[in-house]
Structure 1
Amino acid sequence: MSPQEETARRRYIAMNAVRIGGIAVLLIGLMIARKVIGGPWWLGAFLAVAGLLAFFFLPTLMVRRWKRSEDEGGRSRGE
């Protein structure tokens, strides 16, 4: 596997891990808000919203950061 393929593979795994983590936080938040597990309602609502935001927006932010770091690296090497 080439270095570019290995980097792409690691990034793909990282993005999906973030998505799965976001879903886990969302589900825990919903369980707290619905009183399935103990905790205040506001904590459950906060976790549910945070999980949704993580699921939808963190992978996009990760890609932007990776592209920006690649662009900066390319300019510094004269490419």
Structure 2
Amino acid sequence: MSQLPKDNEADATRAAWRYQIMSGIRLAAILGVVAGISIAQGVVAAPYPIGVALAVIGVVAFFFAPPMLAKKWKAQDRANDAGE
């Protein structure tokens, strides 16, 4: 394994951590969609509107949360680079 300079190593660690967070959000969103559909179809005993809401929130979170986080992180990185 090659030795990376400290800045590149920190950047790689930060990028890996961010990737894991975005993947976790997507996984949780998929689970929410599956749970919502199960509730809406009557497989799981819960009120129908809760199932629909959970499914819709899951879809929105899947598509919009990771890009919003990436945009926020990119802005933070640019601010940190400008401040140094």
TM-score (norm 2): 0.87
Number of residues of Structure 1 aligned to a counterpart in Structure 2: 77
Determine the C-alpha separation between the residues in 1 that align with 2:64 and 2:80. Answer: 24
Q: Give secondary structure in 2 for the equivalent of 1:35.
A: coil
Q: Structure 2 matches for 1:54-69, cutoff 5 A? A: 54-69=61-76
TM-superposed CA distance for 1:71, in Å, is 1.3
Gaps of 5+ in 1: none
Determine the C-alpha separation between the residues in 2 that align with 1:8 and 1:74. Answer: 16
Q: Structure 2 matches for 1:30-69, cutoff 5 A? A: 30-69=37-76
1:7 corresponds in structure 2 to 14
Determine the C-alpha separation between the residues in 1 that align with 2:17 and 2:61. Answer: 19
Which structure 1 residue ranges, 4+ long, deviate > 2 Å from structure 2? none
2:25 corresponds in structure 1 to 18
TM-superposed CA distance for 1:63, in Å, is 0.1
Q: Does 1:76 align with 2:83?
A: yes
TM-superposed CA distance for 1:72, in Å, is 1.4
TM-superposed CA distance for 1:26, in Å, is 0.5
RMSD after superposition:
1.0
Gaps of 5+ in 2: none
TM-score (norm 1): 0.92
**Considering only CA atoms, is the larger Rg found in Structure 1 or Structure 2?**
2
